[in-house]
Amino acid sequence: MEGYEHLVGHRFPGGTYTLPGWLSWLWADAAQLPPDDDAAHPALAYLVAMQGAGVSIQDIFDLMDATADSGVMFGECQLDYHGIMRPGATYECDGEIIEVQRKSGRRAGVFDKLSFRVGLREPGAAEPVAVCTNTWIFPRAAGS
């Protein structure tokens, strides 16, 4: 059974992402919360991390040889903040895969846990505004 531990240390392309005000508004609306023109919801650090790191959900599925309909699940998310997210602000992002583990459980069967971390910095800043660490679960059919 092939594992994916070789992906640890894989760096994402990185880049910059400007958080559009309209997207901040839509995020709040999609979450059935009142939008705030002055502060983006802190959860948007997740989106900025994904957009700014230059990696899509599909890209990560591809790295893990998973398809969109294979039942991939969000396992854990950690967000560390040193400032607030702002609509219209630009963030420099860099990230990498920090852990991949193959596990098995009586109910879940065989699955891979992949964790990746992305830092978000305002241009020129030494300290990140936020650091986003995600763990996703990739179910595996026996023998895959």
Binding site for other proteins (CB under 8 A): 23, 26-27, 29-33, 39, 41-43, 46-47, 50, 56-58, 61, 68-69, 71-81, 83-85
1 vs 68 by CB, closer to other proteins: 68
AA letter at 124: G
Q: Please give the Cα distance from 94 to 112 (Å, whole number).
A: 23
User: Shortest distance, CB of residue 59 to other proteins, whole angstroms?
Assistant: 10
4 vs 46 by CB, closer to other proteins: 46
6 vs 40 by CB, closer to other proteins: 40
2 vs 36 by CB, closer to other proteins: 36
The kind and range of the H/E element at 137 are strand 130-140
User: Shortest distance, CB of residue 132 to other proteins, whole angstroms?
Assistant: 10
User: Shortest distance, CB of residue 77 to other proteins, whole angstroms?
Assistant: 5
110: left (phi over 0), alpha (psi -120 to 50) or beta: beta
- Greatest CA span in the chain, whole angstroms? 51
Residues 6+ apart with CB under 8 A from 69: none
Contact 50, 56 (CB under 8 A): yes
User: Shortest distance, CB of residue 39 to other proteins, whole angstroms?
Assistant: 5
